[in-house]
């Protein structure tokens, strides 16, 4: 990082004039332990899982949409497929807890832990053993991709109702009330949002998750795909790979990952600020500053895929821009 910073300060520009591009290039140098790293192979890992809490009316869409969208991902027709293609990234689809049997498909990773979580308004989402298994699954999936050749990973998810457990996780860890965290998700009206807030409050009361124990929070009020993404982040960081964190659900997963392993944080890059209500509070708790603010709230990894070219631009500046000495420009121009 010191070498990257020193090079940035000798490039043909006033020091610091490329702002966060410079900061990002220095962070990436630290992540890869190289003064001028490069990112070639990219992937978006999309974890899919269902949630028993949809029975409480917390989503504008029915649960059947989850397996239907997984098939759409596999067929290449979803927003994440389009944006990943634009970024030159592959899409990795994992069934970690969809509440339906999915047909065989060569690109589907079948890692189902259960047919959806329990209803958090009535009891825990999963057992502690299942929470551990979800995290381990994420680690194994990203390690397999690294073995295939992977330089940077983006996190994505699919699961109708998953903004509710994500908001519950955020409320526990930030200490903020559910009303400050919960948003409209797939498009709830005012009555639906009030119902969702009440469900989250009930889930926290029923389960009493321990904010000092990330695994307890995940098992009490989380989701299989959230645990899987936390595992992806931990696994990628352990192999010195950059992680682009997508929106609201991915950020909840990052909160779990950091709760379990604080050393993961320097490897995380917040791709964007979601339109979801409490996302800014979650990013502040993590100490991450988002790269983009496009009013996105789709999930799937779409915001993270959009940020891949920014990483590559930051590194291209570091690698390709001439120094004052190389260009024959007076260093007084600094």
Provide the phi-psi class of 295: left if phi over 0, else alpha when psi is between -120 and 50, else beta.
Answer: left
What order do you get walking across the sheet with 152-158 strand by strand?
108-110, 89-97, 42-49, 152-158, 242-245, 268-270
Of residues 302, 289, 285, the one with CA closest to residue 154: 302
Residues 6+ apart with CB under 8 A from 147: none
Q: For residues 55 and 105, give the distance between their C-alpha atoms in angstroms, rounded to a whole number.
A: 29
Q: Considering 300, 320, 326, 331, which one is annotated as catalytic?
A: 300
Bridge partners of 95? 48, 110
Examine the residue annotation and report whether 300 is marked as an active-site residue of this protein. yes
| Residues whose CB falls within 8 Å of the CB of residue 194, separated by 6 or more in sequence, listed in order | none
Q: Which two tokens stand for residue 215?
A: 């695994």
Burial state string for 296-315 with b = 16 or more CB within 10 A and e = fewer than 16 = bbbbbbbbbbbbbebbbebb
Going by DSSP bridges, is the β-strand pair 108-110/89-97 parallel, antiparallel, or unpaired? Answer: parallel
* φ and ψ of 300, to 5 deg: 70, -10
Asked if 207 contacts 124 with a C-beta cutoff of 8 angstroms, the reply is yes
How far apart are alpha carbons 287 and 228 in whole angstroms? 22
Residues 6+ apart with CB under 8 A from 290: 270, 271, 272, 273, 283
Q: Using alpha carbons, select from 249, 258, 260, 182 the residue that is nearest to residue 45.
A: 249
Residues labelled as active-site residues: 300
């Amino acid at each position: 990082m010191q070498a990257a910073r020193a090079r940035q300060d000798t490039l043909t520009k006033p020091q610091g004039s490329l702002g966060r591009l410079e900061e990002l290039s220095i962070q990436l140098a630290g992540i890869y332990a190289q003064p001028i790293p490069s990112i070639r192979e990219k992937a978006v890992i999309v974890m899919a899982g269902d949630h028993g809490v949809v029975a409480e009316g917390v989503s504008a869409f029915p649960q059947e949409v989850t397996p239907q969208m997984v098939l759409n991902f596999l067929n290449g027709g979803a927003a994440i497929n389009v944006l990943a293609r634009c970024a030159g990234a592959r899409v990795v689809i994992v069934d970690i807890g969809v509440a339906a049997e999915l047909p065989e498909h060569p690109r589907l990773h079948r890692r189902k832990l259960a047919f959806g979580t329990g209803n958090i308004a009535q009891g825990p989402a999963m057992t502690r053993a299942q929470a551990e298994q979800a995290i381990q699954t994420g680690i194994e999936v990203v390690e397999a991709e690294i073995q295939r050749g992977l330089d940077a990973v983006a996190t994505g998810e699919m699961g109708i109702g998953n903004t509710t457990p994500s908001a519950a996780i955020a409320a526990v860890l930030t200490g903020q009330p559910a009303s400050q965290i919960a948003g409209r998700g797939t498009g709830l009206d005012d009555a639906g949002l009030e119902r969702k807030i009440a469900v989250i409050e009930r889930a926290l009361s029923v389960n009493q998750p321990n904010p000092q124990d990330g695994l307890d929070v995940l098992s009490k009020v989380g989701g299989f795909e959230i645990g899987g993404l936390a595992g992806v982040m931990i696994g990628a960081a352990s192999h010195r790979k950059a992680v682009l964190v997508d929106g609201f659900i991915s950020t909840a997963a990052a909160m779990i990952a950091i709760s379990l392993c604080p050393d993961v944080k320097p490897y995380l890059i917040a791709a964007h600020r979601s339109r979801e209500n409490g996302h800014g509070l979650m990013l502040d708790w993590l100490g991450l500053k988002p790269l983009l603010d496009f009013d996105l709230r789709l999930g799937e990894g779409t915001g993270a895929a959009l940020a891949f070219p920014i990483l590559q631009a930051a590194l291209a500046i570091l690698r390709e821009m001439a120094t004052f000495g190389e260009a024959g420009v007076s260093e007084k121009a600094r």
